């Protein structure tokens, strides 16, 4: 019996070894893309969107026969490898390390949370693997100089982009509306309170607001700056503090799970009758259902909304993507999902342009990438990476949410920029301006 067991074990080892040998040539016959996604932990809702959107893109590309690689003179399919960062820095390091060293991925796509991505960048840099980052929003990701980021490409609006745009909108549209409605002098500055997550993401917004005000000499006074811990759920006191500062507008730099209680507690508990702004990741169905009537007349920045599509060349592609995703997985893919979907297409295009899976040449192809916008509207209608910090630039919109009595939820209407506006920004009757 014991001898049989030894023979069986040897046979099993031999089979495993042969299996390893035979699968080796096949490994070069596909493009292995590692998808860095928070499949478990607090950010798993977004992580699921990221992974499913990547699957949709890969399935579409493979249905067309795959990606043509000149070196092989044929089309080869994409194989996705899931890397669960567990919504933590350590989890991200483990996942990225495994995908690079054990799975042998040709490139990486995804990455959510500036903190999580920052923690595994050095591993990517050491192995020189092309990485299209579609989630983190701090500009530091591709601007830091303690890590070689030359293989990393940032396909998500940075906090500089988002913060700058919201601040310009407040100055150009909200400030004149308040001054006109309440008979203030045209020169009266907007009183702005900033409520930000105590993280690179939140601080990035805080910095962007200040820089935008200073660089453009905007008439905006920041009357309160309040931080909160990531994942906090009780904002009543911090909102009371903001109430005491008496602003016109509260700029919130928070994630979805934070934005909902912030706006709810502000309106319901603290009775803060001020305008609220939310940054782009909050334009999600869960935000509308979670915050309910408390988001009425609030402002949300967006680049991909579940309930409104900017008129223009990406309108049809956007609607098709949402419909295909819903059919395949059910639900709405979210902004991180759509960016990852585009990231897979961008990676495929870079391999095609490079004509090889050689990582350095794929990296060079990404650096020189120039492809038409896919789902999200890009500046100039093209996806390209800036030569200095390898950032793609999006066309962002500002939406105002209006209560829909039939749906019992608010719905967004684009109010900025003028070329895409569906309707004009309005001040609600309950709004009370800060005392100048």
Residues forming the site for other proteins (CB under 8 A):
40-42, 44-45, 198, 226-229, 231-238, 240-241, 243-245, 256-257, 260-261, 264-265, 268-271, 286, 290, 292
Closer residue to other proteins in complex, CB, 230/426: 230
Helix axis angle, 44-63 relative to 315-329, nearest 10°? 100
Please state the closest distance from residue 228 (CB atom) to other proteins, in A: 4
H helical segments located in 28-158? 44-63, 89-101, 114-127, 140-143
Structure tokens at 281: 């990741």
Residues 6+ positions from 25 with CB-CB distance below 8 Å = none
Q: Which residues pair with 414 in a beta bridge?
A: 399
Closer residue to other proteins in complex, CB, 87/179: 87
Closer residue to other proteins in complex, CB, 237/360: 237
Strand order in the sheet with 31-37: 78-84, 31-37, 107-110, 131-133, 152-154
Of 54, 133, 123, which is closest to residue 91 (Cα–Cα)? 123
* 355: exposed, middle or buried (Cβ count in 10 Å: 0-12, 13-18, 19+): middle
Please state the closest distance from residue 396 (CB atom) to other proteins, in A: 25
Structure tokens at 45: 């809702």
Please state the closest distance from residue 44 (CB atom) to other proteins, in A: 5
Closer residue to other proteins in complex, CB, 87/314: 87
Closer residue to other proteins in complex, CB, 133/267: 267
Cα 154 to the chain's mean position, in Å? 10
> Is the Cβ–Cβ distance between 254 and 199 less than 8 Å?
no
Please state the closest distance from residue 353 (CB atom) to other proteins, in A: 39
Closer residue to other proteins in complex, CB, 48/155: 48
For CA atoms 47, 164, 420, 317, give the dihedral sign.
negative
Please state the closest distance from residue 19 (CB atom) to other proteins, in A: 32
Please state the closest distance from residue 286 (CB atom) to other proteins, in A: 7
Closer residue to other proteins in complex, CB, 69/279: 279
Please state the closest distance from residue 271 (CB atom) to other proteins, in A: 6
For CA atoms 327, 328, 330, 332, give the dihedral sign.
negative
């Amino acid at each position: 019996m014991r001898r049989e067991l030894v023979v069986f074990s040897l046979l099993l080892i031999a089979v495993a070894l042969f299996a390893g040998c035979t699968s080796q040539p096949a490994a070069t016959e596909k493009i292995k893309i590692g998808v860095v996604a928070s499949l478990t932990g607090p950010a798993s809702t977004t992580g699921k969107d990221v992974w499913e959107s990547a699957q949709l893109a890969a399935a579409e590309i493979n249905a067309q026969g795959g990606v043509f690689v000149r070196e092989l003179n044929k089309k080869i399919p994409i194989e996705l490898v899931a890397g669960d960062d567990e919504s933590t820095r350590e989890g991200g390091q483990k996942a990225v390390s495994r995908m690079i060293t054990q799975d042998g991925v040709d490139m990486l796509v995804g990455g959510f949370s500036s903190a999580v991505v920052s923690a595994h960048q050095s591993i990517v840099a050491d192995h020189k693997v092309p990485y299209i980052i579609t989630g983190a929003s701090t500009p530091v990701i591709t601007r830091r100089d303690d890590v070689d980021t030359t293989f990393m490409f940032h396909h998500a609006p940075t906090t500089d982009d988002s913060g700058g745009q919201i601040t310009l909108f407040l100055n150009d549209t909200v400030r004149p509306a308040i001054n006109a409605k309440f008979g203030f002098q045209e020169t009266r500055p907007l009183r702005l309170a900033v409520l930000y997550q105590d993280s690179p993401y939140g601080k990035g917004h805080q910095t962007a607001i200040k820089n935008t005000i200073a660089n453009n000499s905007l008439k905006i006074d920041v009357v309160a700056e309040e931080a909160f811990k990531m994942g906090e759920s009780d904002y009543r006191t911090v909102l009371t503090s903001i109430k005491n500062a008496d602003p016109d507008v509260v700029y919130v730099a928070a994630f979805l799970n934070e934005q909902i209680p912030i706006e709810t507690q502000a309106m319901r508990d603290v009775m803060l009758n001020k305008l609220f702004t939310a940054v782009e990741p909050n334009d999600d169905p869960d935000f509308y259902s979670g915050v309910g009537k408390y988001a009425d007349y609030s402002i949300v920045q967006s680049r991909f909304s579940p309930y409104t599509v900017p008129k223009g060349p990406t309108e049809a592609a956007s609607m098709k993507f949402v419909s295909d995703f819903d059919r395949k997985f059910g639900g709405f893919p979210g902004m991180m999902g759509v960016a990852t979907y585009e990231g897979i297409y961008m990676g495929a295009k870079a391999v095609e342009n490079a004509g090889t899976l050689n990582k350095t040449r794929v990296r060079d192809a990404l650096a020189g990438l120039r492809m038409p916008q896919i789902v999200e509207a890009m500046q100039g209608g093209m996806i390209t990476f800036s030569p200095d910090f390898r950032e793609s630039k999006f066309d962002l919109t500002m939406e105002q949410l209006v209560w829909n009595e039939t749906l019992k939820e608010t719905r967004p209407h684009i109010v900025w920029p003028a070329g895409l506006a569906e309707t004009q920004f309005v001040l609600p009757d309950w709004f009370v301006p800060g005392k100048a």
